Amino acid sequence: MSRGGADLALLLLAGFRFMAEEATLRLAERGYPGVRPAHDFALRAVAAGAGSVSEVGRRTSVSKQAAAKTVAALEEGGYVRRSPDPGDGRRARLVVTDRGHSLMRDGEAVFDELRAQWESLVGGDRIADVQDALQRLLGTDAPPMVE
């Protein structure tokens, strides 16, 4: 079994894909069909203060076009809406709706379930060690897209 850098990168990617795909399935079962990780990242960016499509794009590290497509899907699903900007009546600000907040809560619960599933397989201490190591290596305590 090789333990090179490419193997680590592939394992991290596979772990992310597994969690993302499983979360997508579980959220669909809970009444959120079609929600993907990109939707959650954008929704969390809006909740953290990204009030425009451009800001969502910057905070999620995607193009303005990709952010616009994601925000449009969130609006269509009733997860965000545009509200008049109190500081500039010509602009609209993105805000998370009650349905959007419910999605974020249910999403957190799903990821907690997935973490518990992994902890049952290898132990809670090992999962905590992996998370701590990744936070130290990345130099952060929070995902970069919601700073």
Does some domain include residue 132? yes
Domain assignment present for residue 8? The answer is: no
Residue 9 lies in a domain: no
The reported pLDDT for the residue numbered 23 is: 94
Residue 38: per-residue pLDDT: 87
pTM of model > 0.85? no
Check pLDDT > 80 for residue 143.
no
Provide the residue range defining the domain that includes 59. Answer: 21-146
Distance between CA atoms of residues 64 and 112, nearest Å: 31
Residue 90 lies in a domain: yes
Q: Is residue 69 part of a domain?
A: yes
pLDDT at 132: 94
Residue 121: count of CB within 10 angstroms of its CB: 9
Here the CATH number for the domain that contains residue 85 is 1.10.10.10
- Integer-rounded Cα radius of gyration of the chain: 17
**Domain-embedded: residue 55:** yes
Residue holding tokens 């991290």?
12
Pairing of strands 88-96, 80-85: antiparallel
Decide if 86 is inside a domain. yes
Tell which wins on pLDDT, 115 or 140: 115
Q: Is pLDDT above 80 for 119?
A: yes
User: Residue 94: which of 118, 70, 114, 110 has the closest Cα?
Assistant: 70
Candidates 94, 68, 92, 59; CA nearest to 80 is 94
Q: How many domains does the chain have?
A: 1
84 lies in some domain: yes
Please report the pLDDT score of residue 88 as a whole number. 77
Whether the Cβ atoms of residue 97 and residue 80 lie closer than 8 Å to each other: yes
Predicted confidence band at 53 (pLDDT cuts at 50, 70, 90)? very high
